[in-house]
Amino acid sequence: MAYEFRLYQDRLAAKCTAKRQLVHPVTALYVVAGSLRLTGGVLGANSAWHPAAQWTPGAGSLPTIVLRWELVAAGSPDNALSGEGVESRLMLASAMLLDPAQKYLLRCDRVDFPPGGVALTHTHAGAGTRCVLFGGIRIRCLGEEHAYGPLEPWFEAGADSVFASASASEATAFARVMILPRELLGKSSIRYVNAEDLDKPKNQSYQVFLDQPVELPPS
């Protein structure tokens, strides 16, 4: 079935609240800066959340930047937020084909590289969208190479081989959300393409925030 994987950037002034609720069932939120008000608590920077029910976004005591991933049926209306003190925009929308008969997992993590770090040629078991938090990265895939800087996103289909090289002069990190087969709960999704790379030291490190079984949204 045809779906669309969308990444929004939501900016909220301190203590402001968006005008409407978020309702999509397959959503991941990552706080880049500031804090996000939740029912009964606050989500700080470098934290992620999967809302299990309708929820109205609001900022804490600081200006807040949130990355919001949503999996929706193809052709669904735009879901940018609005309200006084709220800036919201769709950063990237990517087509994704998923089988409703299969079980899936929503994974949100952060990947960090030291200066000059690389991710050796690899694939993933599912598709997803990444967004640079700081530093810079070059992605080589399908014979093309693209560079990304802070708060610039890109999509990886999963099955396509990718080689990533981080900034040579500064540390780099990106936040990522993928839709994976549910049997990968708690397991790595990466597969190295070249046998000689399997035992080489790996530069990247991971911080997993969400590994959430989800049901696909209705068509």
d(CA 96, CA 165): 26
Give yes or no for residue 219 having a pLDDT over 90: no
Residues 41-95: tens digit of each pLDDT: 899 999 999 987 788 889 999 999 999 999 999 999 999 999 999 999 999 999 9
Contact partners, residue 188, CB within 8 Å, separation at least 6: none
d(CA 200, CA 204): 12
Q: What are the residues facing 146 on neighbouring strands? A: 139
Q: Is 104-214 the same fold as 2-97?
A: yes
Output the CA torsion 15→19→23→26 (10° steps).
Answer: -50
Question: What average pLDDT score do residues 201-214 get?
Answer: 96
pLDDT of residue 21: 73
pLDDT of residue 169: 97
Give yes or no for residue 39 having a pLDDT over 80: no
d(CA 44, CA 136): 24
Tell me the residue type at 111: V
pLDDT of residue 142: 94
Fold of 104-214: Jelly Rolls (2.60.120)
Rg (CA), the chain: 17
pLDDT of residue 11: 97
What CATH number was assigned to the domain covering residues 2-97? 2.60.120
Question: What average pLDDT score do residues 113-129 get?
Answer: 97
Closest Cα partner for 47 from 64, 59, 35, 61? 35
d(CA 86, CA 57): 10
Sorted by where each begins, the domain ranges of the chain are: 2-97, 104-214
